[in-house]
Amino acid sequence: MAMVDRNDNKAVKEARHVGLVVISIVLTMASVLNPGSIGLLISFVPLPVFYYLVILGKKDGTLIIRNAIIIAGGLTLITGALPQLVFPLSLLPLGFVFFYAANDRKSPIETGFYGILVLLAVWGIYWTLTGTVQNVNPYRALVENLDQMLIEAHSMYKESFDSVNEGSVEVEAAFENMRTVFPRILPALLLSGILFTVWMNLSLGNWLLRKKSAELAPWQEFSLWRLPEYLVWGGIFGAISALIPLEPLRTIGINVLLIWGALYFLQGVAVLVFQLNKWTLPRPLRMIIYFLLCIQAHGMFLLTIIGLIDVWADFRKLTVPLENDSQE
């Protein structure tokens, strides 16, 4: 994996300055705009960390990250948002995981797996400490907050309709079902959120590095990424377990099936990106297609099925499984 030419001192200094500003702003704004929540900006915290570690190397990259933390700490102290800086900082290790995995020539699938494990560990420690300090059970509090949100949404719906008709009865039944189902599938929702956070930063980071220089990108384009074939067995286990009317096996199976579906949804997206690039469609049209397929349940289900079928159909004609492939 190449880095910025060390002989070009001007380019290195410029990258340092820009990196310091970018990471400082991301950390500060993530703390100020999304206090106490997993907002969109917070999800992107690992991206500039990974990018500038690759661009500048471990020594200079770590230096600007340290300085950015100091600057963000000072700015959030002024705005009164210093306590909210802790959660964005918990995502910084993910950027380092990507960097070290890229240096060790790990595949994107392996790198993503390590990233998920690290993020699970870091967030597990974070929520454990938070729960201890606040004397609450974070998971139970999350379930209760989710239930309260559904109750409030239900109340808003009832206020919007004066008369009870067949449609409103069905909606009320749906609300009650959601209150029962959501706590059961919450583990899958949380893990899927971690999965998408890792995938988003990994794929965007690789894309940005490739845009700067093809030599900087540690992996092939996202459209060529492919899941290991043995993951199919995870879906089979989840489906069989979900059909068995025995708790907690059935709940475990449903959660496994949802996480498995999220993985193959991403593979389906990769197949879609590959085909649209192959057909050389105009970028605006591609954006519309991505948007339409990813915002509706039917489109997401279709991409998941495509991702699964790709295991056998090999739509992209990939001769070497990417779990054993990394860019030299």
Percent of residues, the chain, with pLDDT higher than 70:
90
Q: What is the pLDDT of residue 172?
A: 72
- Taking CA atoms, 224 is separated from 107, 268, 289, 316, in Å, by 12, 11, 19, 8
Structural domain range at position 293: 220-328
Residue 31 in any domain: the answer is no
Alpha helices in 80-91 (DSSP H): 86-89
Provide the angle, in degrees to the nearest 10, between the axes of the packed helices 249-278 and 283-294.
Answer: 170
CA distance 159 to 244: 40
Q: Residue 322 in contact with residue 224, Cβ under 8 Å?
A: yes
Q: What is the dihedral sign for C-alpha 169, 188, 88, 46?
A: negative
Biggest CA–CA distance in the chain, Å, is: 75
For the segment 176-189, the average pLDDT, to the nearest whole number, is 90
Answer with the residue of higher pLDDT: 87 or 153: 87
- Is residue 1 very low, low, confident or very high in pLDDT (cuts 50, 70, 90)? low
- 149, with CB counted inside 10 A (0-12, 13-18, 19+), is exposed
For the segment 238-257, the average pLDDT, to the nearest whole number, is 93
CA distance 69 to 66: 5
Number of domains in the chain: 1
Residue 59 in any domain: the answer is no
Is 70 exceeded by the pLDDT of residue 8? Answer: no
- 150, with CB counted inside 10 A (0-12, 13-18, 19+), is middle
Model confidence pLDDT, tens digit, residues 193-226 = 999 999 999 999 999 999 999 999 999 999 999 9
Is 60 exceeded by the pLDDT of residue 4? Answer: no
CA distance 225 to 272: 12
Residue 267 in any domain: the answer is yes
Residue 214 in any domain: the answer is no
Instruction: Kindly compute the dihedral angle of the four CA atoms of residues 1, 95, 187, 142, in this order, to the nearest 10 degrees.
Output: -170
Provide the angle, in degrees to the nearest 10, between the axes of the packed helices 166-212 and 92-103.
Answer: 50
Compute the mean pLDDT over every residue in the chain, rounded to the nearest whole number: 87
Model confidence pLDDT, tens digit, residues 249-285 = 999 999 999 999 999 999 999 999 999 988 888 888 9
Q: Which residues, including other chains, have CB under 8 Å from residue 295's CB and lie 6 or more apart?
A: none
Residue 71 in any domain: the answer is no
CA distance 46 to 69: 13
Residue 250 in any domain: the answer is yes
Q: Is the pTM of this model over 0.85?
A: yes
Q: Residue 46 in contact with residue 98, Cβ under 8 Å?
A: yes
CA distance 3 to 87: 30
Instruction: Kindly compute the dihedral angle of the four CA atoms of residues 79, 84, 86, 89, in this order, to the nearest 10 degrees.
Output: -80
Residue 213 in any domain: the answer is no
Q: What is the pLDDT of residue 161?
A: 61
Model confidence pLDDT, tens digit, residues 70-113 = 999 999 999 888 888 999 999 999 999 999 999 999 999 999 99
For the segment 20-40, the average pLDDT, to the nearest whole number, is 78
Residue 10 in any domain: the answer is no
